[in-house]
Structure 1
Amino acid sequence: MARLAARRQARAEAREIRMKELEKQQKEIDDNADRHYDMYSTGTGGGGGGGGGGGGSGGGDVVNRAAFRVALGSHRAPSHSVSSASYHSSRRSSEDSSEDGMVSIRDMRHELKELEDKFRKSMVHNAQLDNEKSALTYQVELLKDKIEDLEESLTLLQREYRDKCRDFENLKRLSTQIKDELEYCKAQLLEKEELIKEYGLVVVENEVEVDIGNGEKETRIKRSLVTQETAQVLSSLGSGSLDVRLKRFLEDKNDLLDQIRRLTIELEEERNKHSKGDRGGTQHSASNSSAYTNGPDESLDAHKDASKQLADYRFKTQKYEQEIATLQANVARLDGQVLRFKTAAEEAEAREDDLKIEKRKLQRELREAQSKLDELETTNSHLQKRLDKLKTAKSTLLKEL
């Protein structure tokens, strides 16, 4: 806008200078016409005394001078035509009578008035044409300024359009890259599901309390990968989180260990009783040998009962030992499974959390890229419309010029 105002001021100054030059030229033309009229009047004064006496007033001289200016400035008549006219006029004035001279003066005045009217009309018309020319020149300058501004705007818009196109291509490449990464993550998830099915693993839900701030806790469900046997064991332990189920499992394990220790103690007691019974049996047989004659049937029955009881104790001892060994093997196996399952669950949870975070990140980047892509497409279409409008306006202005 400052540049446009400076151009307008420069054009106004140039217009004033042109008007001054035109006024100066018009003044020079008037001065030359007056000088030529004075020379003409001096040259024709001797031959035209009668004519001069008839119309020698100051008003006639002014009228004649104006007529001479019009004839010299507007019609540009040659000098010999003026001399010939003055010669014929002086000759006619010397030959004709005074009445004819008056008639000729009236005719000349009438013609002079007509010439003055024509001169005024021509001057008014020239002034109008000059004003129209100035207005049209000013409009042309304004249109040129508008064309320059439009060209600058067009250049700026083209530069912005190129920048937007470059950003659009970059975002398009980024979107393609994100889509490829998303496909890769989907393939990894499918491979993970296939591996889970292949190894017979089962997804188990685990309720975890998470601190969300301000002393409040929120229960969230996390998933863990375990084998089918472990899943059956966990399902047999009831509902609840994985930690609660593992606590129940440890309690059952401790109960089994207590039972094993109790059975071991009972076994030791039975062994001690058995050893004491053997010693008592030998003493009893020695005492009964002396008194065998008193009651052989009773001692035989007692010996049979003791042997039977000893066989029962031995059988129970072997059975308890087998149960203890089985329980210890089960405990060791379950301990190993618990450790393995805990490790696998932790690894699966960590991997699942990482995959979820990466998936959310990729989805967020994809949404941002899609929104930027839509925004760039909208901006591109808007700039294209503006560019078409500018081209149309430029072609219209060029046609008008």
Structure 2
Amino acid sequence: MGTQGTGRKRSTKKDKSTAEDDALNLIAREAEARLAAKRAARAEAREIRMKELERQQKELSDDDERMSVGSRGSVRVEDRDYLEKGSRAASSLTAATLTSLGGTSSRRGSGETALAVDAETSIREIKDRLTEMEEKYRKAMVSNAQLDNEKNNLMYQVDTLKDSLMELEELLSESRRQYEEKVKEFDREKHTHGVLQFQFNEMKETLKQSEELLNEIHQLRMKQEGFVREISDLQETVEWKDKKIGALERQKEYSDAIRTERDELREEVVTLKDILKKHGIVLGPDLNINGDNGEAEVDGPPSGDSACQPAQDSQISPTEGNSVLEIRLRKLVDEREKMIEQVKKLKAQLEQKSQKNGSDSNSSPDGEIFENGNDPNIMELQRDSSRQMSDLKFKLVKAEQEVTALEQNVTRLEGQVTRYKTAAENSEKVEDELKADKRKLQRELRSALDKVDELESNNSHLSKRLEKIKSSRGMAQTP
């Protein structure tokens, strides 16, 4: 009953977890869809703002050009008016001074020159001031245009930073949600890891117990084999004793039968003696038959069967090491190379001798001609070389056979080593997989924590930057 109740509880928990996971997945999908829509709207708004800013910048540049052209024309007109006014004032001053003074010619000439010099200096000062004011006005217009552009750029940057801040906040919330999911998954994996570790420890204990039991069984088998050998030895000794006792009993029965026959014969001899005495017949010393001459003792040889012990065949399996095999292989390869070199040398010698013999036969004045072109020395050399070649070929084939046998032994030993290695690896596979899962979960947790820290640092940096931009904007707005 308890097991059924626990099973039902687990099923309800699983259903709840699956329903929660489905709901969370739906919420996440809706949030992602909203995020995508917001990003698309922001991208469109950015494009529109960029177009408006470009248009405003073009208009401002056109206005600046127009203003600069207009200011130059107005300055030129004002200069002309001012020069005309100055000339008029100078003429009026000269006329007034001339009429007022009306003096002598010397005083009139000095006054005209002084007034002309004053008018020229004042005109020059006015021109310099005008140029300075024009430069200041132009600089002020340029600075105003630059400040306006900077203001628009800063407003655009503020908007983009707000958008990026909102995106980062959404990413932060998403990363926190993922972090919580990863933490939950890590807890689940940790729990499963603990359960598997407990099961692994139990399996280890059972393996240790099974190994101990196997060792005990092996020891008991060894003891049992010793007891069996002792029992077989005792049985053999008992059988030998039984056989000896049987032989002694048979010998005793035979001796008892002989004794009874002897006693009967003695009794008959005594009766016959008595009968002969009654008849008056006296027996000689030769015919004195007495049973006291000696008792016939029949000592049969003991028929003891010799117990033959079974011979135990001890098979010794020589374990050849890899080093011994490599040494033998190297030796065989060296011998093969030496044989090949000897064959090549013999062939070269044969060719040289055949060439020499051919040259001698050609250069001989007597012109010795052998039948069918066969020299006995060459024939002997050819026979020796063919015999050596056959011996070398036989040795080579034998060496190749030994090499193949050694290679087969090496492959067999390598197969045994691989089987042992696979058995050892399979025994450690479960533990390695558990460790790998644990490391993977720890890596994911660390990466999630690093991502959260990075997003928080970016958020703080952006907030500080936004505050700086707001403060600079406030300082720019204040006159």
Give the TM bin, normalised by the shorter chain.
0.3 to 0.5
TM-score, normalised to structure 1, is: 0.43
Q: Which has the higher contact order (CA 8 A, sep 6+)?
A: 2
